[in-house]
Structure 1
Amino acid sequence: MNSACSAQLTFAGMIARKHYFSLPLDYQRPDGEKISVFAREISSPDNCDKDLPFIVFFQGGPGFGAVRPAANGGWIKRALQEYRVLLLDQRGTGLSTPVNFASLSHLTSDEQTQYLSHFRADNIIRDAEAIRQQLTDNQKWTILGQSFGGFCVLKYLSDAPEGLAEAYITGGIPSLTRHADEVYQATYKRVLAKNQDFFSRFTDAQTLVKSLASHIESNEVILATGERLTIEMLQLLGINIGMEQGPESVYYLLEQALIDTPSGTQVNPLFLAHFCQLLDFNTNPIFALLHESIYCQNTASNWAAHRVRNEFAEFNYQADKPFLFTGEMVYPWMFEQFNNLKPLKQAADALAQKQDWPMLYDLDKLATNKVPVTAAIYSEDMFVEMRYSLETATQVGNLKYWVTSEYEHNGIRMDGEHILDRLITINRGEKLR
């Protein structure tokens, strides 16, 4: 086992090593096509020559690379007290054989569909286990999952608990059995509540956004990324109102959206640039392609969020009705409006219709789980239904949880040192400080 002390990369208060692993695209064909999976090992200068265990971070998403830390802070600061941190770029993200329209352009739509079907949590966990065996001489390690990373934690507990010493989840306990339709029926209600909070806090926001919507309907407005801005795209900003500091970001953007010029009212170029920065669909296509599949077990999603939206007519914008933002939903029209998704439309439709997704969770194995697990459940979470998280908590053995209203979905990003410390304390049965 090589020490991180030999690394040449240094950050404020941290030392890093890069790891690349050649792993099968399809574990049913281990001698077939390979992909590269990247992980960054972080140590503190005081501990880098010690043989400390790893804690592996599973990022939210799906479809986003691991955090790129610039300083020793947040949950990483707490973790480095007793671990080496491994920041895993899940397959298809970051430096792990990235998936995007350019990297898939040599494939037919059918080949794209087949290729992308290997990028769910099941293969992310197979990658992690292969990395553990190569990197640690088969020693157990600890895992931490945020949001979709929590789905990965439960998949790990279901498939390979023998590799785990402890497990932690923040904002990401999924239902083990419910269909995507049920998930979105609950989620739309949560999004409605977040809209109410947003427009109550920012009393002129409804006027601002409706003025912008009216302008968009009457004029061709082109975003910095080249797309025509539509009402549906504007509604997607709502994914941010369920985050800490997200409502403020959306409000300040709306506040600057329209400007008066000698030629009349126009959309501020600043808005056109910053709007693109608040949405990730052009840059992280796996999220749009595979988000609904994270709920699929021998079933197709059939664009669940799009279908369920018909039960919530208030989200269909009308000029004489209140404007509402949507949330963490993916819609088929996105593959007609976002430039970098357009080349993947046929594959997206095929993935939405795919019925033979493998089962994700072994309920019997999870019920008898022996690995100590502790989860933070955020009662006001817009992205994860608390009722379903609590339901799952009763189905997983040896799982303790902490329910709190202090944080939004991205709490670990805002107060990670405290959250991880509390979870570790609970998991080990120690007295809370």
Structure 2
Amino acid sequence: MARTLLRRAKQDDIIKAPTRFAEPAIDRRRPEARTYGPVEAQRRRGRGATANPDGRYEPVQRERFDDGWETEEQADVFRTEVTIEKPRTIITRNDSPDIGFDRSINPYRGCEHGCVYCFARPTHAYQGLSPGLDFETKLFAKPNAAELLRKELAASGYEPAMIAIGTNTDPYQPIEKTYRITRQVLEVLAETGHPVGIVTKSALVTRDIDLLAPMAARGLAKVAISVTTLDPVLARRMEPRAATPTRRLTTIRQLAEAGIPVSVLVAPIVPAINDHEIEGILRAAHAAGAREAGYVLLRLPLELKGVVRDWLAENYPDRMKHVLSLVEETRGGKLYDSAFGQRQTGTGPYAWMIGRRFEAAAERLGFNTERAKLRCDLFRAPVKEAAQLALF
């Protein structure tokens, strides 16, 4: 097994991979180009990331090397581990001007789907964990989410507005089958007449049609399904534990037939990898019943740059430089620009072309002619426990 060597890390360190996993030294002038030694394929089978670099807040960086005492075959595989988290609040607020909601709920931290491009990967650094394989194997669940939600909705002065679920990690990732936290949250929202918008790439959302359909009939629910590609081989490489493209289209159809407003997100669009599929995804999603559509150009914040670079080096070495060059073209010469209004779509000629292709195809197919508006006037705050006891 490859042992770990610890050393103090500085922001401008040059990190060299050990001889066994030989990679070039990293340019000090471009810290976003930092790469790490790959983890053996057998240990990460079924996972998206190819490496497990340390998070940006760690005081040390780890280099892997073979000291000759153990073999790689003896190394443990990356298995899914779930830690119970008990937060004090569950509704997260934001004031970002370029997204359509000001509050959200994330039942889980980390995501077993393993989407290599996930912009939430760097958030695992707050737990002292890696944005790589840790993000998709060391998960956190919040089983008291529904209880906290009930208390927060009952707070005096609470004003209802759409709560977005799934904006960071997928609320219907595989562990939801066991923990049912998303289901419990929806039960509270249904009971109180509170509007909700869900983003997912999982077919498991159809389990909750019995809740979502009555809510949608009252103007309280809508769902967005992310479809990255129609190619099952590419999907397996990019999103190893997410629903297949066919399952996602079937999910769109089932939601639409149940009367639930459903939209498709062509996201993310990865230059020179899936950008040729924009029109095909929109056609397939419209045929399945989606009537709203949006897109997001690949985002590479913080450590995600290295995770995606490593993935490209292993899966598309011949295209890696071209892909990253196009990304830089859309981000003002950098691999990422977090400016509001630009982070979702990018700038420059290539980004402009992507936007016009999407708009033309969406208009031709009849997307976005009407947008589902959720109601807030049906909200009834849950009765506080103290108020109930006061009746006796």
What TM-score comes out, normalization by structure 2 length? Answer: 0.26
Query: TM-score w.r.t. structure 1 length?
Result: 0.24
More helix by percentage: 1
